[in-house]
Amino acid sequence: MTETDNQLLNRILFEGIKEMVMVIGVRENEELYYEYINRAAMERTWLTEEAIGRPLREVESPEKFEFFRLNHLHVIHTKREFHYEDSYEMENGEMYYSSVRLVPMLNEEGQVTHIVIHAHDMTAMKKAERDLAKSQEKLHETEDQFRIIANHSQDLIAILDNYGKVEYISPSCSDSLGFSKEEIMARPFPYFIHPQDLSGLVDAFTDSLRQQKHFKVKYRMRNKWNEWIWFEIYGSPVFNEQHRINRIVAIARDITVDKRSEEQLRYFAYHDMLSDLWNRRAFYEHLADALQREQYRREGLALLLLDIDRFKWINDQNGHDIGDQVIAEFSKRLKGAVRRMDTVARFGGDEFAVLLPAVGSREDAFAVAESIRQAIAKPWVFTDRCLLVTTSIGLAVAEGDMTDDELIKQADVALYEAKESGRDCCKG
């Protein structure tokens, strides 16, 4: 990745993502330290750039540090994402509420080296929930007050009967969805809900009625231009004088921007930026999943490890810009030479890997490798120069109860043999 690419990525993370993003480094003794803090996190907390590189125990109060430590140790030991809600008082005396997601980053040995913190601002949502709870208690006495709140809210506020029919929706629907109140109330509510989200929303609504409890769910809603907008809805049952539920009051907040931020973070975690291929972490997950399936024993599973021959020489003689172009073009040719079902990844540098499910036999795997070799060997023409680029390939076929490490080691040995045999060939 060029310096310009790194600068762009840093700007996206530091300035482009408006939610708080921090990266916690994990040392061998499980000591935690701040490695990255974006601008949103600095603006909403008292953290500054001086905290970067320092252990959490030196930066946070003992109570806060212990809370952080327990949550992060849970992620380190389980190697899984962890979600929790947090709150603290800001310098202006106001309370800040957030939904925090801890995402582990693993090295090649499967150890957690970093934890990405994504804190979603829930302050407005919490305020709306409190306002809604207060309004709900007095709804049968002060319905006019509720309508005043609803009519001036930027969130969607709706009242539904026990059958899910919309009895009232706030005027903000025209800003959020483009529909008028009359247009929404004239159609069945499921018309506006994404088919994949409808059952989950109905289940949450039904459980709320049956168990007399609040519910919260994320779903997509159709706007007037047939686009799907992400919302998070908070619903609460309303009781009549006989203490029976006669309607549901719901607040729906547009979270489309949050979803895009999550997708960006997920993309960065599993993709190589220069080649636009899967990265090492994603490939290992695909490989582990493939080896656990009984299907591979019937249909075959093969692994290819590839190096660009003499890539260091290409870089040194032509400069890193040409080197980056070679990586990008190599990735494009590699993807074009395999099947859509195959998994292609860049491990870093000039190291690549291809996972071949349902490959049939070793001979079939060699045929795929040969098509890759021929695709790479075709002329490489740049604006002011032509290059000869070839690849060495190591092949391994999964057999019996072989582990992912054993399969990769076998392919790595075959790759070494290919290089020793003069390069531009496949061994295995």
Supply φ then ψ for residue 31, to 5 degrees.
Answer: -75, 135
Task: Concatenate the DSSP letters of all residues of 144-205 into one string.
Answer: HHHHHHHHT-SSEEEEE-TTS-EEEE-TTHHHHTS--HHHHHTS-GGGGB-HHHHHHHHHHH
Q: Compute the distance between CA of residue 239 and CA of residue 236 in angstroms, rounded to an integer.
A: 10
Residues 253/231, Cβ–Cβ less than 8 Å: yes
Q: In what order do the strands lie in the sheet with 301-308?
A: 343-348, 351-357, 301-308, 391-397, 426-427
CA distance 262 to 264: 5
What is the maximal distance between C-alpha atoms in the chain?
87
Residues sharing a CB contact under 8 Å with residue 227, sequence separation 6 or more, in sequence order: none
Q: What is the DSSP letter of 339?
A: -
Contact 93, 122 (CB under 8 A): no
Enclosing H/E stretch for 86: strand 82-89
DSSP string, 269-304: HHB-TTT-SB-HHHHHHHHHHHHH-THHHHH-EEEE
pLDDT, tens digit only, all 428 positions of the chain: 444 555 545 554 445 467 788 899 999 888 999 988 888 888 888 888 899 999 989 988 898 899 988 999 999 999 999 998 888 776 677 788 888 899 898 888 888 999 988 888 888 788 877 777 766 665 555 555 455 555 556 688 888 887 778 888 888 888 889 998 888 888 878 889 999 999 998 898 888 888 888 899 999 999 999 999 999 988 888 877 667 777 888 888 888 888 888 878 888 888 998 899 999 999 999 999 988 886 677 788 999 999 999 999 999 999 989 999 999 999 999 999 999 999 999 998 999 999 999 998 899 999 999 999 999 999 999 888 899 999 999 999 998 888 999 999 999 999 999 999 999 999 98
